[in-house]
Every structure is written in C-alpha cells, then in structure tokens.
Structure 1
Amino acid sequence: MIRALALILMLLPASAVQAQMAATLIADDVVVTPDNRLIASGNVEALADGTRLRADRVIYDQTSDRLTIDGPILITGPAGEILTADQATLDPRLENGLLLGARLVLNQQLQLAAAQIDRSEGRFNQLYKTAITSCQVCGTEEPLWSIRAERVILDEQEAQIYLTAASFRVKGVPIAYLPQLRLPAPDNGRSTGLLTPRFVTTDRLGFGLRLPYFITLGDSRDLTLSPYLAAGTRTLGARYRQAFGRGGFEIEGALSDDDLNDGGLRGYLNAQGSFLIAPDLTLSFDVQDTSDQSYLSDYNISDADRLASIVALTRVKDDSLFSISGSYYETLRDDETDATLPPAVLTAGYLRQFQLSSGGQLTLTASTDSLLRYAKETTDLSRDLSRVGLGLGWTQAWVSPGGIEARATAALRADKFQIGDGPAARDAGFSRAVPSAQIVLRYPLVRDSAGTRNLIEPAIALTISDAFGKSPPNEDSTRQELDDANLLASSRFPGDDTVETGVRLAAGVTWTRQGAEGIQSRLTFGRLVKTRDNSAFTVTSGLSSKASDWLVAGQLTLPRGLTLDGRTLFGDDGSTNMTTARAYWTTAAVQLAAGYIYQRADAAIGRPDAISEYSFDGQFQVSPRWNVGFDARYDIAQDSPARAGIGLGWSNECVNVTLSVSRRYATSTTVQPTTDYGLSVDLLGFASNAGGVSSAKRCDA
C-alpha cells in the first residue's frame, strides 16, 4: 500500500479514543496483525495535538498501549522544540516513555545530547550523561563551550533545566564544576537566577566582579541584587520593580564600603514611577539622592552634576491642562550649595481653551510658582520668590484670497509677586500687568517639478507689549537663546518673571525642499529688531541689542540614513555667539552620531570661558561576528579630551564577548580622572538572550 492513511488509535474503545484523542498516521505501508498490533513502516509520519513524529517504523501495541519506534526518529513539538533519537518506546500521545541515543533542540538553538531520555507526564524530560551547548557541533570536534552533566531534568511547564554533577568546558577542557545547577530554558524570558557576570577594573577601585542575580516575585514584581566586589570596594546594588494595572514604579540604588572615602558607607538612590489615579489624571515621581558629590562619578553611574527630585500630578484633556508639581534640587558642583540653588520649587498651572463661533480661540490660564531657599545670609542667594498669575488670550486666523496666512493674538496677563528674605524683602509684595498684541503674516509659495516640491515661506511678526507695575527679580529666565522655534514668538523668555516690552518686528524666511530622489532639506534665516533693550538678555543669547543676531538654522536628510542639522547666531561684524551642529548616520551596519557646540564666554550666566567642544558616538558592525563601538568628547577651548571610550564585541551563534575601556578626564576637587575596563561573556541559548547572530559556524563537508 503506497502512502496509506489510518488512525493509529482506531483499535481502542470509543471511550479511550475520546479520552486520548486520535492521532493521524501516514506511512508507505500499514499492517494490522491478529494480536492487535498496528505496524507502520516506510516514511512514517504521525501527528497528535500539534506534535509531529517522523520515523522509519512505528509499532503500536493495543494491549500495552505503547509505541515502539525505530529511527532515525524526529519529533517536533508545538512550541518548535526538536527531539531526535535512534530508538524509542512511548505512549501514543508521546508524553511518557524512553528514548535512546537522543538529542533535544530547544528554540532552534540550545542542544541537549544524551545517551537516554525518559519522558514523563508530557512535562518532564530526564536525560542521562548529557552534553549541552548552543554552539554548532561539527563531527567529533569539541564546541567552543559546553556543559557536561550526569543527569539533566528539563521541566517543560516551568521552562527550567536542572543539572546534577555539571562541569563547564571550553573546547572540551573542564574549567568549573558545580554539583547542582539550575538554568532557564530558552523560552523562559523571566526566571530567577544569575544574569551575565561582568569583570570590571578601574584605576581607583582595582579589579572586580559584578554578579547580578535576578529574583522573580510574581508576574508583576522582581528584584535584582548586584554584588560588586573589587580590591577597593564592597558594594551591593539593588533594583526593585513592580507593575500595577494603572502604573508602576522602579527603585534602584547601591551601598558601598570602599577605600575612596573615610566617611563610612556611601551610596545612591533613584526611584521613579507613574500611576493613573483617575481618568486623565496621572501621578508621577522621580526621586534622586546620593551620599556625596563624587559617588556617582566614582562608580560610573552618571555624569550628572545636579540631582532633581520631582513629584507631579497632571491631567490632560482635549481642551484643558492641569499640572501641579514639587521639585527638590541638590548640587554636586564645587562652586554651589543646596541652600542657594534654590533647592525647592513648587509650581501649579491650569489652561482651558474655548472655541468661538467666529472661528477664533479663547485661552484662560492660571498659574503659581514658588522658589524657596534656606541660606542664612541676607543676599540675593537667600531670596524666596512666589508668584500667582492669571492670563486671558484671544487668537484668530485667516487666509486671504491671495494665499496670505494671518494670525492675530491679543493677551492680558496679571501677576502678584511676594519676596521673602534677601535685600528686596522690604518691597515684599507687588503686582504687575502685561498686555500684549501680535499679528503674524505668512506667504507660503509652493512649486512642484518632476516629483520635487519646493516651499518658500516668508513670514513677519509684529508684537507690541508693555508692563505696568514693578519688575520682579529674574529667577526662571536666566538662560535665553534665539532659535528658529521662538523667532516669531511673542516672547523669547522661557519663564514668567521677565517679559519683553516695546515694539518688536521679527522677519524670517524658510525654504523647505522634498526631492524625488529622497533628499529633504530645510533652511531658516531670520532676525529680530525691537525698540527697547532688556538687560535680562545675556550677551550670548543673541538678543542683547535692539537688533538681534542673525539666525541661520538648517536640516538635511539624505538617503541611506544620513541626517545633518545645525544652527548659528552671528552679529553684523561676523562674530559668532553660538553654533551647534549634529550629524547622524544609521544603517544596518553603522550607527554614528557626531556633534559640535560653541558658546562665547558670558559672565552673566557663570560662564567665564568659551565652550568649544565636539563629540563622537558610534558603532560599526565590521563583520558578522565583530563590532566596534566608541564615544569621545574633546574640549577644543581647553585643548584636552573630556571623555573617551571604546568597546570591542565578538559574537557567534553561541556566545557574545564584550571588552570595553573608558577614560574620564574631567577633574575637580571631588571628581578625579579615572579609567574603567570591562569584560563580559554572555552564553547564548538560555532564557531571553537566545538570539545569536545571523552568521553561524559552518561545518566542512
């Protein structure tokens, strides 16, 4: 009989068939013997509950309810697991039995070869004299790494692998022995156990080892403990995460007993989270703290020189916005103290928009903020400032028959200020009103030619405003800068303490091109003139004179992942106050980012020297197995490097090896130059790291 089709369980009683379900059998020849045995031979294929079996011959004995299978045997499971064997005795559902000369492949990568496999309850596989590896095995050649064990139990339900008398080998040479070992199976993305260790060497802490251990605490919680032992430190790091139906939080920190500080234990703490406590209402927080100024830098955790802890409550709707927040700032700089930052900032705001029947829009705003210092001296560095403000604005837009777009805005803002402490406290409370009006005209000109679109958009903005009442100290607008986003805005100040007054005329033109060849570009050119100076504008803002600096900004996007953008401010004499430039290149093999920044010296904002610096950050896939990453910052003004690092990675189908070296050159009384070395070896095939590379080792024919 050629490719006969039968039911492998057709001889069972009907009740047994319903209980065990039927399997489909295909073979070149199927014979039923008088003693109730079914013998299928020649290209046998059997399918039951998503499990497929292929063999040379299958014998089913109804009396014992067993399958005797002659190989070569190939069994593929519903989850993609592969099992091969020379000979097997199994039940009809392939859940219980014995396989000889077997090899089990999980997730198409992790291989377990054993002299014998016992299957039990369709869940447990017990393997004897087992070799485990995810490397390509060629003939009798030893794989790059392997684990040999006397006994291995694979729990398919829990996705865990338990090993007894296990030895870890590199090219067949034993280098470690463990009497008991548990490893996650490849399809287990969340399992308690060791994560990838990392060897770390720094010239301040010496040689050390980081050994993170991941602990699951249910489906929505986990804890990671990260001991770090080195010649100069004993550190325990920890991270706790928990998710809820409406949000979650994460807490991370560390405690260290090291040789760098005589003050006892050192450490840091970061906690952040977000919760939806009502429809459209979100509570979020971000808390940061450290024991001393240099801890984060000593342990290469962060380059931050100020810490900000924030708690905020926010509601966002289609026509309204509400927010209230409290912030606490700590400085890690040598020339600052927490008492004078100010350390505590409280803010609240509400915005509501109303659509008018005329097509215009009415906007109502209310806001308040307070800056609190606790310095004892009676100077500006001890000043507290509070503000409460209301605002009302109207906006209307039109388009003329000739294509000119016009937008008119009128607004009135009133603020009440309160000053505590400091030399200005004698004028503790005062008010200020700021009316303003603006009209913006745009004339977009579009031309399409052979799939290329050019858009030239000249625009002007005429603004008039004034302030009635006393001007408060400038606390929230100390850093201003002219750019293409605020060229046509009614004010260039980012905060509320200081306002622009008088008449201002801003003019600019933007050219946007979208080419059929995939090139996109945008160029903006503009300037601002005004009738009044404002001493709050610093020299390098580009706005300190009645005629601002010239603004030039552009972006260029090229095919094959290359993007360029830049901005510069220069005066009538050609001098440059500020220049920034960035470049990005992203392909399958290259990720590259480069940047440059220049800012003139500006004593008004605490910058006595010019800043001129470039940076590079990239990664190259040199070959399917080798990759190189690097980052560098160089201070041109000081003619010295600020930071440099390089990483070298090698990977194949079964291992990732990463070597990194980084050097931080920045110096101060609390932060010292340091060099860090790192080495990590990641064995692929276990849990969620079972990725490998596209180019696996090939065996010679």
Structure 2
Amino acid sequence: MRRAFLTLAAALALSVSPLALSLGPVAVAQAQGTPAPATLVADTVFIDADGRLTAAGSVEVFHGTARMTAGSLVYDPATERLQIEGPITLVENGGATILLASAAELSADLTDGILTGARIVLDRQLQIAAAEISRSSGRYNRATRIRASSCEVCASNPIPLWEIRASRVVHDELAQQLYFDNAQFRVVGLPVFWFPMLRMPDPTLARSPGFLVPSIRSTSGLGTGIKLPYFIPIGDSRDLTITPYVSSNVTRTVELRYRQAFRTGTIEFNGAVSRDDLEDGNRAYLFGTGSFALPAGYRLNFGIETVSDDAYVSDYGLDDKDRLETGMDITRTRRNEYILGRVVNYRSLRDSEDNSTLPTLITDVTWHRRFAPALIGGEGGLRFQTHSHHRWSDEETDANGDGVVDGRDVARASIRADWRRNWVLDNGMVFAGLTEITADIYSISQDPAYDSTVTRVTPAAAVELRWPFMRAGTAGGASWVIEPVAQIGWSPKSAADDDVPNEDSVLVEFDEGNLFSLDRFPGADAHEAGLRANLGFSVIRYAVDGSSLALTLGRVVRPESLGQFNTSSGLDGASSDWLLATQYAGDGGLTVTNRAIFDDNLDLSREELRLFWRTDRYGIGSSYIWLEEDLAEARSVPTSEWTLEADWAITDTWSAAIEGRYDFEVDRAARAGLGLQYATECVTFDLSLSRRFTSSTSVRPTTDIDLSVVLNGFGSGNRATAARRSCGG
C-alpha cells in the first residue's frame, strides 16, 4: 500500500497538474508492469507543495481483500499515515468484518490506526459500538466502552432485547475470537450477569472449543434438569461434545458425541452414562452411524444401537424406537444394477416380545440386474439372493404359544428371472406379456415340522390388456385420462403348498401399486398361486388450474380360493374385496389420498386417509387408519388411530407446531406435543411440551418440557433464519 501511494504521488507530480486533477472524477493505479497492491478512486485528487496527496468526493480504496469508502482522504508520505474523514466504511474478507467510523487515522495499508465514533459489524450480524477502535497488525481490533448486540437498534427501539456492555473488547480476526473485559450481560436493559473476563467466538467461526447453548429439560420421571454441552474440536476433521445433565430427581448423566470426517466418509457416535432413581445401578446407551465411499461405486454403511435396559430410550427422550438395529451393509446402485450385502442384529424393547425367540440375527446378499434381451425385445431382469435368520433359542417346539417354533433357523438361496414386453395395437390398445420363474433352496433347522432341505421352482406368467383414452380439454376445460386394465395371471397351485415356513410374507398390503402384479406377497417365502384375473380401471382429471384428481378401482377374481391370504388383507376368497384409491392434488398445496378395501356389502376391512396442506404460512399433515382385527397379524382388536402434525408461522418472529396421536379403540391419546418458537435476528427461543400416555412394564407415561435460548450472532451455527426486524419510518 505504501509503494502504491508513493508511486502514485510521484507520477501525478511529474505528469499532471493539480488543477487538471480537480476538474472531474479520476481513477489511478500502480504503473503497468509492476504489481498493483492498491487502487484509489475519487472524484478529485491533488498533491500539495509538501507532497501530501488529497482525495475527496466518493473516495474508494482497494487493497487485497479490503475495501474502504470515505468522504475524504489525506496521505502524508513523510509519516506514511492516512487522515480520513467519514462517513467511513472498511469492508474486509468479503464482508465478514465491517468497520464503520466518523473519522480515522490509519497506516497506508489500513492495518494499523485509530477509528473514532466507530462500530464493528461481524458477519452482518453482531454489532459492536465503541467510542474508539484501534487496529494493529491487521489482525486485532481493540474497542473501549463498548456495547455489543445482534439486535436491531434504532430511535423507535433504542433498547435491544439483549446486549453485552464492557469496558474493553479485543477482536482477533485471525483466531475469530472476541475477548471482553468487565462484561455485563443485559436483557431489555436490565443487568443479569457480570463476567470479569469473557471469551466468545465471532459469527464467522465454525469450530471453537467452549460451551454451547444450554437447554433446560423437565420430565415427570427425571424432574427438572439442565444440559450444558462443551464442544472440543480435535483438529480439522474431528470433534467431541461432552454434555453434563443434572436434574432434580437425583439424575446424573454425562452425554458424549464424537464425530469424525474422513476423505471418503464420516462417522458419528452418541452415548451417555447415567445414574438415577428410576433404575438401580448405572444406565447407558450408545448409538453410532457411519458411511464410506468404496472403490468401484460401492458404499459402506454401519449403525450401532444398544442400551443398558429397555426403558432407557423412553426415559431420556432419545427416540420413539421400540426395536434397536445394529448392523452393516455394502451397496452399489447403478442405472440397471443393484447390489446389497448386509448383516443386522435386532433387539426388541417391547414387553410382548422375547429376543431369544425372535429372528434377531439376519444376513442378506442381493444382486439384481435389468437388461434388454436382444432376440425377444422387451425388458428382462435377473436377481440372485441369499437370506438367513437365526434365533438364539434352542427350543424345537412352540413353548411360548405364539404359533412359531421358538428356535427355528432358516437359510435360503434364490434366483429369479423375469421378462415383460408391451405391444401397441392399431386401435390404441396396449397388449403385454410377462413371465417370471423363481428357484429356491432352503435349509431349515430346529423345526421338526419341515424337512431340513427344501428345493422348489415356481413359474408365473400373465397377459395384460390396457386401453387408454384421453380427452384433451378445450380452452378453460379439464383434460381426462381413462384406462381400463385386464390382466390374466397364472402360477401352479403347488406354489400354495406349505413346504417352507412363511416368515417374511405374513403381512400383505393390497393397494394400487400391486393390483396388477404377478405376486402380491412382499417376501420370498410365499408365492401367489393359481389362476386369477386382475381387473380394474383408473381415471385422472387434470384441471387448468394445475390440480388433479385420480381414482383407481379394482379387484382380483379367481376360479377358487386357495386360502393363501388373511381376511384383513382383502385378498382372501375366490373374489377379493374391492380396492378404491383416490388422490387429489391441488395447486394451493393441498394433497388428499384415500385407500379403502371393502366387500360387496360395502363392509370395510381397511381404510387409510391422509391429508397434507402446505402454504407459505402453515402446514398440516394428518392421517387416519382403520384395520379390522386379525389374529394372523397379531391384532386381536381393530386398529383405529388418528395422527396430526401442524405448524404455523404466526408472525415473522413467532411460530408454533403441534403433533398428536389418538387411539379410538382405547378412547385416549397415545402421544401429544406442542412447540413454540420466537426467532429474531438476535435471539431464538424454543419451548416444547410433549406427553406420552401409553405405558408398559418398561415404558412409563411421561411429560417432557424442553427449553432453549440461543443468542444469535456468536458462532456460525447461530445465524437466525427469521426475518430481520426493521426500524421502519
């Protein structure tokens, strides 16, 4: 900067008269052929007899990442100092640091000096007002008698919601830290806390050791407590967060979170150790996840979930999970190929389930490829799959009476080939042929009801006819698409034989997605058998306003019933129940879907209704489900539940959210929650209230209250998302 101004002065003195320079806007820079560390732009520039350079009118100085604007500027080459009159704005690092002042005396490179009547604005959030700010080494900004806040302050709102007043503050731009001396924290003008010394990160800092935002949690089981997390960065790629949690009901907990980023992936572990008066001894949990990119497009994922006791998850509000999953998988997904290998272990937290008799250890390998056969056309697929599950029990009988042998273990290898081709006829009909064949080999142990080794081959084929009609809407009219579909499918009746235990296809969903499928069983243990006709049609209406209404109606008809399906599925009998699915999608963000399964007498066996509505100010999501009782699906009474989730932006600063689940069969709420948030440019206030009403021997009814207050403007993670308040006119 010094060389720039000296060269500038010499060039002006030798080649241009001061009078000529004062006649209009002038822009000057370093001579061509040498580096240009600085640029001066002003309306008028002249040099006096002592060699002092004066610039006035819309003065701008550019140096590296710094840009300064001012009313006037005087450069004295003898002292290498700048005398600057305001209003002054000095912007550094792309706006991360902004200094405002009424007058300043600075070095030629803008790194040292004093600014009076000054303010520092950090990351366009935190403002520090001071009587005087001194700069040194281009790194430190020292201010005296300061007021710091990220709240909007103006004549109509002179008292900020919060502020820090201190006798001195030092801003280290390199370390991105703020050091306060004799600091007083005020809320709406009232002193609340005093600190002899206080260190806080500036808003541009992403990672720094120190305390994070505390939160208050009150539960009916653990009482009222406080969490105070402490963040510890470990290099650029790792960090550890330690959170002591102390509550009134003799609860002492230390929570830990460890994160690490690698060149090809990330890991994260969350855990805690607790002592409380709910259970005897130490209690703990550990949850962990990881994901890594492997060569050749593969990805490795793993997860760990373990707890010391079944009630820990619900007591400490970790999750609504009642089954934990620990395992690892390797996958690769391409346009026409999918590969999966996984090992997973489940642990049930439900009182009604015994982990020793559940298939808790599971392994799977899948290779699936899609291709276009050159000779016969259409689209083909080939899938190879292995599966095994293991129970820890050695019992060869059904000792617990749940209908499943307690210690049965199963391993399976399968290969399936499928093919489909469509032909468009002259009259617009679409004719299709499809077929598949599956070969399985099973190894079954600890169940005398089945052979130890079972092999089977199951073919299936179908023909399908579709006749789509479309009526394009006239000006201002709607468009219609109507498509009747008839499909005749076949597989041998022997596919219904109980040669192997059915453990992965017990629960069958009948919906518009599998109405025209060769096999409606979700797994590999059961295959749909016999001759059947899948009949239905769909209607879609597209309105000119962008909304649409879709309807699908269909059923399955067979010559005879082979007794493969449960009554509640809607697929039992020679003729299935009717499936009616509708969906409305409005241009205003409203979506309503409904799926009903009913017989010829209009008696329902299943009903699902979902509603979602999203606008700029609010969102509503609600669903209702009704299922008839079915002992085959472990449902002794009907299921009738309603859920609701909603959020509302009440104003630019206030928002609310509610959630709930109500069980009509027991005539009580299962869960309810309420959240309230106040967010401005300087503070975020979060309050949540939730209540779980259900109970068991390991799960207690609880009421949770959580409160957190975040002062926006300290640390990069505390940037407010609410609209910034305006002083207005």
Output the TM-score relative to the length of structure 2: 0.91
The alpha carbon displacement at 1:4 in A equals 4.3
Q: Where in structure 2 are there 5+ consecutive unaligned residues?
A: 1-21, 398-404
Q: Bigger CA drift: 172-181 or 109-118?
A: 172-181
Does the 8 A contact of 1:431 with 1:470 survive in 2? no
Does the 8 A contact of 1:481 with 1:540 survive in 2? no
User: Is 1:565–2:582 an aligned residue pair?
Assistant: no
Does the 8 A contact of 1:439 with 1:462 survive in 2? yes
Deviations 1:396-425 (A, max 9, x none): 221111121122122222211121113325
**Residue number among 411, 416, 429 corresponding to 2:453 in the alignment:** 429
- With over 3 angstroms needed to count, the CA separation of the structure-2 counterparts of 1:192 and 1:557, relative to structure 1, is farther
User: Is 1:365–2:383 an aligned residue pair?
Assistant: yes
Matches of residues 186-585 of structure 1 in structure 2 within 5 Å?
186-232=203-249, 233-262=251-280, 264-357=281-374, 358-379=376-397, 380-424=405-449, 427-450=451-474, 452-466=478-492, 467=494, 471-585=499-613
SS of the equivalent of 1:456 reads strand
**Residue number among 687, 699, 717 corresponding to 1:688 in the alignment:** 717
Distance of 2:87 and 2:371 partners within structure 1: 77
Q: Bigger CA drift: 670-679 or 463-472?
A: 463-472
Match of 2:400 in 1: none
Match of 2:26 in 1: 5
The alpha carbon displacement at 1:463 in A equals 0.8
The alpha carbon displacement at 1:56 in A equals 3.5
- With over 3 angstroms needed to count, the CA separation of the structure-2 counterparts of 1:91 and 1:382, relative to structure 1, is same
Equivalent AA in structure 1 for residue 362 of structure 2:
V
- With over 3 angstroms needed to count, the CA separation of the structure-2 counterparts of 1:531 and 1:256, relative to structure 1, is farther
Distance of 1:88 and 1:134 partners within structure 2: 24
User: Is 1:34–2:60 an aligned residue pair?
Assistant: no
The alpha carbon displacement at 1:6 in A equals 5.6
Equivalent AA in structure 2 for residue 194 of structure 1:
F
Match of 2:690 in 1: 662
User: Is 1:72–2:75 an aligned residue pair?
Assistant: no
- With over 3 angstroms needed to count, the CA separation of the structure-2 counterparts of 1:400 and 1:544, relative to structure 1, is same
- With over 3 angstroms needed to count, the CA separation of the structure-2 counterparts of 1:535 and 1:336, relative to structure 1, is farther
SS of the equivalent of 1:423 reads coil
Q: Bigger CA drift: 179-188 or 672-681?
A: 179-188
Distance of 2:198 and 2:561 partners within structure 1: 74
Does the 8 A contact of 1:551 with 1:570 survive in 2? yes
Distance of 1:470 and 1:634 partners within structure 2: 39
SS of the equivalent of 1:540 reads helix
Does the 8 A contact of 1:430 with 1:470 survive in 2? no
Matches of residues 36-115 of structure 1 in structure 2 within 5 Å?
36-49=51-64, 51-80=66-95, 81-115=97-131
The alpha carbon displacement at 1:210 in A equals 1.6
Deviations 1:187-216 (A, max 9, x none): 233443332221111111111112223333
SS of the equivalent of 2:597 reads strand
Distance of 1:420 and 1:173 partners within structure 2: 75
Distance of 1:460 and 1:103 partners within structure 2: 76
Does the 8 A contact of 1:411 with 1:436 survive in 2? yes
Does the 8 A contact of 1:50 with 1:77 survive in 2? yes
Deviations 1:567-626 (A, max 9, x none): 111112221111111111111110211111111111111111111111111110111222
Match of 1:595 in 2: 623
SS of the equivalent of 1:279 reads helix
Deviations 1:136-175 (A, max 9, x none): 2235933211112233222223332222332211123221
Distance of 1:354 and 1:203 partners within structure 2: 59
Q: Give the alignment's Cα RMSD to 1 decimal.
A: 2.2
Deviations 1:203-244 (A, max 9, x none): 111111122233333333232222221112111222222222
SS of the equivalent of 1:412 reads strand
Equivalent AA in structure 1 for residue 26 of structure 2:
L
The alpha carbon displacement at 1:534 in A equals 4.2
Match of 2:39 in 1: 23
Distance of 1:510 and 1:607 partners within structure 2: 32
Distance of 1:663 and 1:332 partners within structure 2: 20
Does the 8 A contact of 1:24 with 1:48 survive in 2? no
Distance of 2:150 and 2:441 partners within structure 1: 70
The alpha carbon displacement at 1:442 in A equals 1.3
Distance of 2:425 and 2:447 partners within structure 1: 54
Distance of 1:629 and 1:409 partners within structure 2: 49
Deviations 1:286-305 (A, max 9, x none): 22111111111111111111
Q: Where in structure 1 are there 5+ consecutive unaligned residues?
A: none
- With over 3 angstroms needed to count, the CA separation of the structure-2 counterparts of 1:57 and 1:366, relative to structure 1, is closer
SS of the equivalent of 2:652 reads coil
Match of 2:19 in 1: none
Q: Bigger CA drift: 432-441 or 67-76?
A: 67-76
- With over 3 angstroms needed to count, the CA separation of the structure-2 counterparts of 1:251 and 1:66, relative to structure 1, is same
**Residue number among 705, 708, 712 corresponding to 1:677 in the alignment:** 705
The share of aligned pairs that are identical, in percent, is 38
Equivalent AA in structure 1 for residue 40 of structure 2:
T
The alpha carbon displacement at 1:470 in A equals 5.8
Equivalent AA in structure 2 for residue 150 of structure 1:
S
Distance of 2:465 and 2:254 partners within structure 1: 61
The alpha carbon displacement at 1:473 in A equals 0.9
Matches of residues 612-627 of structure 1 in structure 2 within 5 Å?
612-627=640-655
The alpha carbon displacement at 1:695 in A equals 4.5
Distance of 1:95 and 1:567 partners within structure 2: 70
Distance of 1:607 and 1:509 partners within structure 2: 32
The alpha carbon displacement at 1:255 in A equals 1.6
- With over 3 angstroms needed to count, the CA separation of the structure-2 counterparts of 1:679 and 1:354, relative to structure 1, is closer
Equivalent AA in structure 1 for residue 407 of structure 2:
S
Does the 8 A contact of 1:450 with 1:516 survive in 2? no
Does the 8 A contact of 1:500 with 1:534 survive in 2? no
User: Is 1:175–2:192 an aligned residue pair?
Assistant: yes
Equivalent AA in structure 1 for residue 485 of structure 2:
A
Distance of 1:531 and 1:371 partners within structure 2: 36
Distance of 2:290 and 2:599 partners within structure 1: 46
The alpha carbon displacement at 1:276 in A equals 2.0
Equivalent AA in structure 2 for residue 221 of structure 1:
R
Does the 8 A contact of 1:655 with 1:692 survive in 2? no
SS of the equivalent of 2:544 reads coil
Does the 8 A contact of 1:660 with 1:677 survive in 2? yes
SS of the equivalent of 1:390 reads strand
- Count, aligned residues: 692
